[in-house]
């Protein structure tokens, strides 16, 4: 799913800002990273001993399913950096990823259960 970029009356200085292009472990954050900030991840039963401490800390946070946004908030990491680090951990098999929000936008059955969940609140 793609989005047109904003073409409205955005002449302000802030309109020129984009997320800082980060470099983590020799990788740069893809502008179109498929990892959504609501996507949840979970630690896989893998030995984390060769990992750098910052990565171990993320894996520890993922003992239970947790979203990319929550990891960033708890570890005080900017979102773009959190995404790249989580991406690295998924790629290397330390974390498993759940179903991202994007795929379900047309899923009436899922929306039905969300509705029921909200009504129960």
Partner 1 sequence: MDRTSVKIVVAGGFGTGKTTLVASVSEIPPLTTEEILTEASIGVDDTTGVEGKTTTTVALDFGRITISPDVVLYLFGTPGQDRFWFMWDELAQGAVGAIVLVDTRRLESSFAAVDYFERRGIPFVTAVNRFFGECAYTDDEIRSALELDSRVPLVWCDARDRDSSKLALITLVRHAMARLRVRAGSVPVAP
List of residues contacting partner 1 (CB under 8 A): 1, 3-6, 8, 10, 12, 14-23, 28, 31, 36-40, 42, 65, 67, 69-70, 72-74, 78-80, 82, 96, 98-106, 108, 110-115, 117-119, 121
In the complex, what is the shortest distance from the CB of residue 47 to partner 1, in angstroms, rounded to a whole number?
20
Give residue 57's Cα distance to chain centre.
16
Q: Which H or E element spans position 42?
A: strand 40-43
Give CA separation, 58 vs 21, 85, 91, 102, in Å.
Answer: 20, 8, 14, 24
In the complex, what is the shortest distance from the CB of residue 43 to partner 1, in angstroms, rounded to a whole number?
12
- Measured N-to-C along each axis, helices 79-91 and 68-75 cross at an angle, to the nearest 10 degrees, of 120
In the complex, what is the shortest distance from the CB of residue 88 to partner 1, in angstroms, rounded to a whole number?
16
CB nearer to partner 1: give 57 or 96.
96
In the complex, what is the shortest distance from the CB of residue 86 to partner 1, in angstroms, rounded to a whole number?
13
Distance between CA atoms of residues 79 and 65, nearest Å: 18
CB nearer to partner 1: give 10 or 91.
10
């Amino acid at each position: 799913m793609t989005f047109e970029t904003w073409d409205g009356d955005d002449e302000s200085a802030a309109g020129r800002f984009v997320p800082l292009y980060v470099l983590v472990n020799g990788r740069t954050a893809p502008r179109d990273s498929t990892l959504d900030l609501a996507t949840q991840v979970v630690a896989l039963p893998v030995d984390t001993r060769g990992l750098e401490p910052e990565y171990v800390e993320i894996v520890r946070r993922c003992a239970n399913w947790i979203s990319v946004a929550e990891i960033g908030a708890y570890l005080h990491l900017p979102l773009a950096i959190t995404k790249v680090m989580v991406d690295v951990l998924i790629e290397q098999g330390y974390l498993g990823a759940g179903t991202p929000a994007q795929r379900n936008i047309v899923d009436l059955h899922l929306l039905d259960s969300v509705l029921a969940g909200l009504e129960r609140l």
